[in-house]
Chains A and B, each alone.
Chain A
Amino acid sequence: MSKENFLEVRGLKKYFDAGRPALFSRESRFVHAVDDVSFNLRRSEVIALVGESGCGKSTLSLLLMGLEEPTEGTISFEGRDITHLNDKERKGLRRKIQMIFQDPYESLNPTQTIEEIINEPLLVHGIAPDKSERDERVKKAMEDAGLKPAEVYLYRFPHELSGGQRQRVVIAAALVLEPEILLADEPVSMLDVSIRAEIINLLAELRITRQIAVIFITHDLGSVGFFADRVAVMYLGRIVEIGTMLEVLEKPQHPYTKALLSVIPVPNPRLRRERIILQGETPNPIDVPSGCRFHPRCPVAISTCKHSDPPSITLSKTHQASCLLLVK
């Protein structure tokens, strides 16, 4: 099996039915949450998926997890098509692909103890039927996730933990299944800045010790810059630029990427720079603009941008961006 087709996403689309615009209109409208996304993830690679709120990042992660059915497109894992699976096949796959959710305050059941939470995946999958073996695995996952010593936390309830600790519990519950891919949906955006670094360092470490591939979703490129191998920038349901971390950070080509990079806060007033602040917010994904979807907010748009949808332009072997200005 080649390294390339570990996780492969081709032309993935997810349209949500948004109902009819008016009571008597015929056609119902769709939210183009994810609109033709393709990329591949290599073994133990970290991809940062960046974009504004509402651009479809969470939807994409739910599609990859099989928690939403794609409208179109294919997802394949280790060469096998996993786009549509029955419950049993899906369950088997869950051991390989796990997810960390955005909000550590909401993603733990308040009535379960930490031990029950981390044990749950093992129970559900019937892994390690022997109690002592299970305890062993639970402890190992907890310590790997930085909850040391595990005994202190085992019988606590989520509300007795801080935000950072809760996020570690969520990570431990994902690790206990020993997945090969970890989808992290904004794992730190709800946390205090002083503990964000802990969680990011933890993920960076896991990727080395456990060879886990990570898709790190965030709206703040600054928070992942240092450990991602590649960066994919998403705008209105589509990836508009993808490249290695250095390519994207140092030579961003898409005007949207440039804007995103320019607004990352820099903790040094001497380095204040001209920020490219896009006005307005991500447009409504129900009425995707014609032509290039970014043109209404693009500071450098030209007239052709209104009509033609830019193709993905290859800038180097690893770097692609979709912008008409790049067409030579």
Chain B
Amino acid sequence: MSGENPTGGSAGTDDSAGQTADESTKPESPTGFRRTWRGFRAHGLAVAGLVVVSVVTLVGIFSYVDDAFLGNSLITSVYYSPFAPEFMPLQGPSMAHPFGTDTLGRDVLARTIYGAKVSIQVALTAVLVAASLGSPLGVVAGYLGGTVETVVMRTVDVMLGFPALVLAIGLVAALGFNLTNVIIALGIVYVPQFARIARSTALSVSNEEYVDAAKALGYSTPHIVFREVLPNCISPLLVQASLLMAFAIIAEASLSFLGLGVQPPTPTWGQMVSDGSGYLTSAPWISLFPGAAIFVTVLGFNLIGDGLRDALDPRESAERRF
């Protein structure tokens, strides 16, 4: 929902949901989160990434609300409609149309703004789906080991054997071309990524003494997996999530570019790049601006991922020992 969700915001919620629920006396947020935030903030580029992603997300929210509830009235009242071909086609950037117009005479800036909606929606939900399926699977596999691990991890290996995009294309082709199916397809495709990381993290967390302590106290396996192990696997999963967000945006754009994603007239960046690809020499702006939007957003997510990785690195706790 909010612009910060993919980054610091969700770190906070994941943390505190597990921790403060029982201890209601002191509603202060865990200092672990604050420390992470300090580390993140020290990473200048990561903050730049966060700003970019926040802006794109806000733009996405704006277009979603405008499109779904207000019948495009907001954007048309201050600017042009992204849908109506009311202008001269193939006009270059000008004061009236800073990003120019496309082959049908639609305003490219308005369409780029609306394109943010699909990109962010797909990236967020697909990664959320993948994370909520893949992480528990991986953690269970890592903690239990044995047959469960073999079955889960071999399946994951098989899925990783296919290039992610090829797998996604196959799934979308089987399910049908629409937004929901793109999300489902990408969600499934990224499950192995989470499962793999969750498993290796869970393996090392399982060796911590507090897991033995939980066994010695006779806690049930679900308790150990979800209360003791999983919360301690969150950091690398968060980093992975923000990096996969970038991949999901590219994947969605690629699907749209190939005409396999969200269908026109809904504007998406990939589709717009595809539309303009025939006019790269005569009217480069049609592809250039949505392409730049993809680039900047992907870069933003990657920067956040890097920043998070550094901020969550356990070595950072050395700072406490001066």
State whether these chains interact.
no
Q: Residues of A with Cβ closer than 8 Å to B? A: none
